[in-house]
Structure 1
Amino acid sequence: MIKHIVMWKLKDQAEGADRATNAREMKRRLDACANIVPGMRKFEVALAQPGLEATYDVVLYSEFDSKEALAAYAAHPTHQAVVPFIGAVREARQCMDYEA
Structure 2
Amino acid sequence: MIRHIVFFRARRREDVGAVLEGLSILKTIPHATLLEVTLNGRLDQLGNEVDVVVYGEFADAAALAAYKAHPTYQASIDRVRPLRDLRIAADYVANAPHSL
Establish whether TM, by shorter chain, passes 0.5. Answer: yes
Tell me the SS of whatever aligns to 1:5.
strand
Of 66-75 and 41-50, the range deviating more from structure 2: 41-50
Q: How far apart are residue 80 of structure 1 and its match?
A: 0.8
Give the share of equivalent positions with the same residue, in percent.
Answer: 37
Structure 2 residues without counterparts, runs of 5 or longer: 95-100
Tell me the SS of whatever aligns to 1:32.
helix
Structure 1 residues without counterparts, runs of 5 or longer: 13-18
TM-score (norm 1): 0.79
TM-score (norm 2): 0.79
Deviation beyond 6 Å, 4+ runs, structure 1: none
What is aligned with 1:78?
A: 72
Q: Is the 8 A contact 2:26 2:73 kept in 1?
A: yes
Q: How far apart are residue 35 of structure 1 and its match?
A: 4.6
Query: Whole-Å Cα distance in 2 between the matches of residues 87 and 32 of structure 1?
Result: 14
Residue 45 (str. 1) matches residue 48 (str. 2):
no
When you count strand as a share of all residues, which structure comes out higher? 1
What is aligned with 1:25?
A: 18
